[in-house]
Amino acid sequence: MKVIEKPSPNQSERLLGSVTNVIVLHTTEGNAKSALSWLTNPESKVSAHYLVARDGTIYKLVPTTRKAWHAGKSRLGVCNQVNNISIGIEIESYEGARDYPDKQLEALAWLIWQIMKNNPTPISTITAHKDISIAGKQDPVDFPYLRFWKMFAKVVCREEGIK
């Protein structure tokens, strides 16, 4: 898969002792170009670790060892600072483009598999922004979870040589 580095200044150190074991899925609510512009603009004060475009291109914005500013006011279990324990992935999607092409879902599945294989701590949770947001965020909008998990299984089998 194609991964393009597009560093965002909107990042910081994770809290000492933080265990990164969560992936949070978001949608951009705009095209990839405008999302990249916003996520890499210092004035926006927001970012994500990755953005997956509709054409399957993956943009890496923040190293997973650092904290991206994607979850905002959020809670997961007893954690009130989800940015400290998570990897944020933006998925290009917006009104009129909510069909999530197979190329995009395949790239997202591949990316999540790579994170799961290479993260020093096992990933225990993959969640939607809407499920952790205290501020009432509703993304990802209309995400096809069943299609995604079928694609994820295909990608893992292909990557691991399982028939």
Q: Which amino acids are annotated catalytic?
A: 90
From residue 21, alpha-carbon distances to 39, 82, 150, 154 in Å are 23, 10, 22, 23
The terminus-to-terminus CA distance of the chain in angstroms comes to 21
Reduced to 3 states, what is the DSSP secondary structure of residue 90?
strand
Residue with tokens 């893992």: 156
Which residues on neighbouring strands pair with residue 76, listed in sequence order? 79
